[in-house]
Amino acid sequence: MAMLSADQQDALQELMNVAMGMASDQLARYLNTLVHLQVPAIRLVQPSDLLAQLEPDDAEHQRQVVSQGFIGDAGFQGEAVLFYQLSNARQLATMLGYPADDANDAEMLTDISSILTTTFLNSLGGQLSAQLSYSAPRLLSDQQELLVQRIETPGWRAALQVSIHYQVIDYAFQCEMVLLIPELGLQTLQQRLDAILLEY
């Protein structure tokens, strides 16, 4: 799956590192706490890899999946899909000021993922000179079959998996973000990366 040249991949990794740095700084200020970040590991993935993500760690811990579309001025577009565990999200929710007994998990999950997705993609888009707008996040976990179908449809050309690991003081929040990018979005991404590479 050599969608990106080695140079392009290196450039993208660097842009994502910077985006992640900005996003964690924003989050840290917002949560008023320290957020340690690790370098996001980036890899191009196949549909089968994504399906493996959906496998529950055990019966009681179903993976939560939230999807959010994004589109920028220059045709940079795609869908960001976040995978994480409910128990993991609850702690972050508490820090974000959600009442502990809030029964509305769906809203908490979509809020958290919207925050993680948009802070990261805003920073990434900024570096690619693409201002992004977003669709409302949607919880897909309860529509597993639909999701599997969606993943197996070859409508997207590239899927970039960005493993994000946030360490907030005494607990770790871990999630996988996958950027599904269709043909058009991929072309724009490559053009932007080439332009950046040419600039230096």
Q: Identify the sign of the CA torsion 170, 23, 90, 147.
A: negative
Instruction: State the nearest-atom distance from the C-beta of 178 to another protein, in Å.
Output: 19
Contact, 82 vs 65, CB < 8 A? yes
Dihedral angle computed from the Cα positions of residues 4, 47, 123 and 119, in that order, rounded to the nearest 10 degrees: -170
Partnered with residue 160 across adjacent β-strands are 44, 179
Task: Identify which of residues 93 and 159 has a Cβ nearer to another protein in the complex.
Answer: 93
Q: How far apart are CA 140 and CA 175, in angstroms?
A: 15
Instruction: State the nearest-atom distance from the C-beta of 61 to another protein, in Å.
Output: 17
Instruction: State the nearest-atom distance from the C-beta of 142 to another protein, in Å.
Output: 11
Task: Identify which of residues 102 and 152 has a Cβ nearer to another protein in the complex.
Answer: 102
Which residues form the interface with another protein (CB under 8 A)?
A: 7, 10-11, 13-15, 17-18, 20-22, 24-30, 34-35, 37-39, 96-98, 104, 106-107, 110-111, 114-115, 118-119, 122, 127, 133-134, 136-138, 196-197, 199-200
Q: How far apart are CA 106 and CA 55, in angstroms?
A: 20
For the chain, the straight-line distance linking the first and the last C-alpha, in angstroms and rounded, comes to: 26
Task: Identify which of residues 14 and 73 has a Cβ nearer to another protein in the complex.
Answer: 14
Task: Identify which of residues 2 and 136 has a Cβ nearer to another protein in the complex.
Answer: 136
Instruction: State the nearest-atom distance from the C-beta of 155 to another protein, in Å.
Output: 23
Instruction: State the nearest-atom distance from the C-beta of 106 to another protein, in Å.
Output: 5
Task: Identify which of residues 33 and 46 has a Cβ nearer to another protein in the complex.
Answer: 33
Dihedral angle computed from the Cα positions of residues 41, 47, 52 and 56, in that order, rounded to the nearest 10 degrees: 100
Task: Identify which of residues 18 and 74 has a Cβ nearer to another protein in the complex.
Answer: 18
Contact, 132 vs 120, CB < 8 A? no
By residue count, the chain amounts to 200
Q: How far apart are CA 40 and CA 50, in angstroms?
A: 17
Instruction: State the nearest-atom distance from the C-beta of 121 to another protein, in Å.
Output: 9
